[in-house]
Structure 1
Amino acid sequence: MSETNMPKILITGATGQVGSKVINYIINSDEASNVEIVAAVRSAAKAKPFTDKGISTVIFDFDNETTHAAALKGIDRLLIVTGYTVDMLRQSKALLDASKIAGVQHVVHLGACGRDDTTVAHWAWHQLVERYIEWSGFSFTHLRPETFMQNMLSYGGKPAINNGVLHQYVQGARKSWVDVDDVAHVAALALLHPEKHAGRVYRLGYDAKSYYEIAELLTKQIDKPFEYQPQAPEVFLQNMKDAGAEMAYMSCVYDHYKRYAAGTIPGADDTFDNFPEITGQQPTRWADFIEKHKSELGY
Structure 2
Amino acid sequence: MIVVIGGTGKTGRRVAERLTGRGERVRAVSRSTSPRFDWDDASTWQAALAGAHAAYVTYYPDLALPGVPELIARFSATARAAGVHKAVLLSGRGEEGALASERALQASGLAWTIVRCNWFDQNFSESFFLEPVLSGVLSIPAGEAREPFVDADDIADVATAALLDPRHDGEVYELSGPRLLTFTEVARELSAATGREVRYEPVSHEEYVAELEREGLPADFADLFAMVLDGRNASVTDGVQRALGRPPRDFADFARRTAATGVWVPSTSERAAVPSLR
Which TM class, normalised by the smaller chain length? 0.7 to 0.9
Q: Name the structure 1 match of 2:90.
A: 110
User: RMSD across aligned C-alpha pairs, in angstroms?
Assistant: 2.2
TM-aligned CA deviation for residue 253 of structure 1: 2.1
Q: Name the structure 2 match of 1:183.
A: 155
- Matches of 1:174 and 1:76 in 2, distance apart? 39
Identity across matched positions, percent? 25
Confirm whether residue 93 of structure 1 aligns to residue 65 of structure 2: no
TM-aligned CA deviation for residue 251 of structure 1: 4.8
* Alignment length (residue pairs): 260
- Matches of 2:248 and 2:199 in 1, distance apart? 26
- Matches of 1:203 and 1:297 in 2, distance apart? 29
Q: Name the structure 2 match of 1:24.
A: 17
- 8 A Cα contact 2:69 2:104, kept in partner: no
Confirm whether residue 253 of structure 1 aligns to residue 224 of structure 2: yes
Give the strand-richer structure, 1 or 2.
Answer: 1
Question: Against the structure 1 CA distance between its residues 155 and 237, is the aligned structure 2 distance closer, same or farther, given a 3 Å change threshold?
Answer: farther
| Runs of 5+ unmatched residues, structure 2 | 267-278
Q: Name the structure 1 match of 2:271.
A: none
- Matches of 1:203 and 1:272 in 2, distance apart? 6
Q: Name the structure 2 match of 1:289.
A: 254
- 8 A Cα contact 1:153 1:160, kept in partner: no
Question: Against the structure 1 CA distance between its residues 157 and 66, is the aligned structure 2 distance closer, same or farther, given a 3 Å change threshold?
Answer: farther
Which residues of 2 match residues 44-63 of structure 1 at below 5 A?
46-47=33-34, 58-63=35-40
User: Partner of 1:111: helix, strand, or coil?
Assistant: strand
Q: Name the structure 1 match of 2:29.
A: 40
- Matches of 1:42 and 1:223 in 2, distance apart? 38
Q: TM-score by structure 1 length? A: 0.79
TM-aligned CA deviation for residue 281 of structure 1: 3.8
Q: Name the structure 1 match of 2:210.
A: 238
TM-aligned CA deviation for residue 196 of structure 1: 1.4
TM-aligned CA deviation for residue 284 of structure 1: 1.4
Counterpart of 1:12 in structure 2: which amino acid? I
TM-aligned CA deviation for residue 227 of structure 1: 2.1
Question: Against the structure 1 CA distance between its residues 252 and 164, is the aligned structure 2 distance closer, same or farther, given a 3 Å change threshold?
Answer: closer
- Matches of 1:27 and 1:154 in 2, distance apart? 22
- Matches of 1:270 and 1:298 in 2, distance apart? 32
**Residues 227-266 of structure 1, C-alpha deviations (whole Å, 9 max, x = no match):** 221111222111122333334x325325427xx3xxx433
TM-aligned CA deviation for residue 225 of structure 1: 3.0
- Matches of 2:73 and 2:205 in 1, distance apart? 31
Q: Name the structure 2 match of 1:13.
A: 6
User: Partner of 2:79: helix, strand, or coil?
Assistant: helix
Which residues of 2 match residues 157-196 of structure 1 at below 5 A?
159-193=131-165, 195-196=166-167
Q: Stretches of 4+ moved more than 6 A in 1?
A: none
Question: Against the structure 1 CA distance between its residues 297 and 157, is the aligned structure 2 distance closer, same or farther, given a 3 Å change threshold?
Answer: closer
Counterpart of 2:27 in structure 1: which amino acid? V
**Residues 58-115 of structure 1, C-alpha deviations (whole Å, 9 max, x = no match):** 322222112222222222111111111535334322211211222321110011112x
**Residues 159-211 of structure 1, C-alpha deviations (whole Å, 9 max, x = no match):** 13244332222111111110111111111111111x11101101110131001
**Residues 277-298 of structure 1, C-alpha deviations (whole Å, 9 max, x = no match):** 4224432111101111113345
| Residue number among 219, 231, 238 corresponding to 1:265 in the alignment | 231
**Residues 11-38 of structure 1, C-alpha deviations (whole Å, 9 max, x = no match):** 1101212111100111123xx2xx3211
User: Partner of 2:69: helix, strand, or coil?
Assistant: helix
- Matches of 1:219 and 1:61 in 2, distance apart? 39
TM-aligned CA deviation for residue 132 of structure 1: 1.1
Confirm whether residue 217 of structure 1 aligns to residue 183 of structure 2: no
- 8 A Cα contact 1:236 1:254, kept in partner: no
TM-aligned CA deviation for residue 216 of structure 1: 2.4
- Matches of 1:172 and 1:166 in 2, distance apart? 13
- 8 A Cα contact 1:237 1:254, kept in partner: no
Tell me whether 146-155 or 11-20 shows the greater mean CA deviation. 146-155
